[in-house]
Amino acid sequence: MKNFCKKLLALTVALVLLCAPVCTSAAELGNIIYSEGNYAQVDVYLADGEAEYALVPDFDYTIFTYAPAETGKYSFSVDGGLCQIVSYNAMWITLEPSADTVTESTVNWECTGVGQEIWLAVISDSDNVNIKVSLEGAAYTGPETVVYENTAEVVPYLFEGTYDDLTPVNTLNSTVDTAVLGDDGYYHLNAADGPILLCELSNSKMSLEAANSYGQLKYVIYGEDGKAQTVINYTEAFTVYADNADSATRLYPLTADLIEMLRKVGENFDWYGAEGWVGGTRDDAWMFCCYSYVPAEPEYMIGDVNGDSAINGKDSNIFKQILSGSVVMTDELEIVCDMHKDNNINGMDANLLSRYIAGEITDF
């Protein structure tokens, strides 16, 4: 979705303006709130019924906004020009106004909830056009909305590696590479004890965070009549993960909740399948948002008791506390404190450490 962030900013402005809709008199030219290439969006809200509107000079297309007062099937007709709905926030669809998209004199839109709105792109050889807005069908309640609730406990995650430690999952090989649930509650690559899978919440292709900020992480279930019956809203559930992801990389260990969101939202945008850019199979195509990660094994240096990569008096002091019992011995400490390499930690090891620090010996 080209230039979505810019359009999102424009939508934010438009939503603010919604609180005080602009009254449009004949041929009144609205203020441009966003423009790019051959189109400009103005702060003019279309009125019910028929009215005359001014098109922005020097632009091929002018974008107007309509905010309905009730649900139902709406018709938009342009006298002496062409129009097309290029964006509607019922399901977060955005098109670029062009000769390929703005091709009709009349278009319809089915509003499923008050608070939704559309952007209507209009083109004409005239400076002004008559636009008629009418409610064609009776109002209805629209589909049931179900708020998705996370099944897993979401806790803050800190990624301690680097990007060099990450291996992208190849979705073209997704018939081999699969996600397997481990005992830790997270998913791993190909086996329960395999490399952990991390989900990149800010993945630019999936645009999850952008869609989430717009409140449009949804999945629609349609009935046999083609009408939406149920809308599953993932916004709140995803926000919990976004708030707890690593702040720098936006990574979070893959869970069943994230798989659900990736699969359903991707299906909703119809980005999966052999003909789509994602590649691989429909069941596993969502894995393009994931990386496999194997945490680096820590390297223990003999004598570095406090693990700061330096051997000095601090290590000697901690060693004495270990011998006195005031510091609990651990498996890691047994490795770095065994100067004699005889699997026995005692005063002889402490003596060797002191001599090393004093420069009397250069190795253990």
Domain that holds residue 304: 298-364
Do residues 34 and 151 both lie within one domain?
no
Tokens for 342, please give them.
């005889």
pLDDT category of residue 334 using cuts at 50, 70 and 90: confident
Helix (H) or strand (E) holding 265: helix 256-268
- Residue 92 class from Cβ within 10 Å (0-12 exposed, 13-18 middle, 19+ buried)? buried
**Mean pLDDT over all residues of the chain?**
82
pLDDT category of residue 325 using cuts at 50, 70 and 90: confident
pLDDT reported for residue 285: 67
Do residues 83 and 154 both lie within one domain?
no
Do residues 69 and 11 both lie within one domain?
yes
pLDDT reported for residue 20: 38
**What single-letter DSSP state applies at residue 260?**
H
Do residues 45 and 161 both lie within one domain?
no
pLDDT reported for residue 110: 83
Q: Roughly how many angstroms between the first and final C-alpha of the chain, as a whole number? A: 62
Residue 12 pLDDT greater than 70, yes or no: no
Residue 183 pLDDT greater than 70, yes or no: yes
pLDDT reported for residue 275: 44
Do residues 93 and 151 both lie within one domain?
no
Between 217 and 194, whose confidence is greater? 194
Over residues 285-290, the mean pLDDT reads 78
What's the structural domain count of the chain? 3
| Distance between CA atoms of residues 204 and 191, nearest Å | 28
pLDDT category of residue 271 using cuts at 50, 70 and 90: low
pLDDT category of residue 194 using cuts at 50, 70 and 90: very high
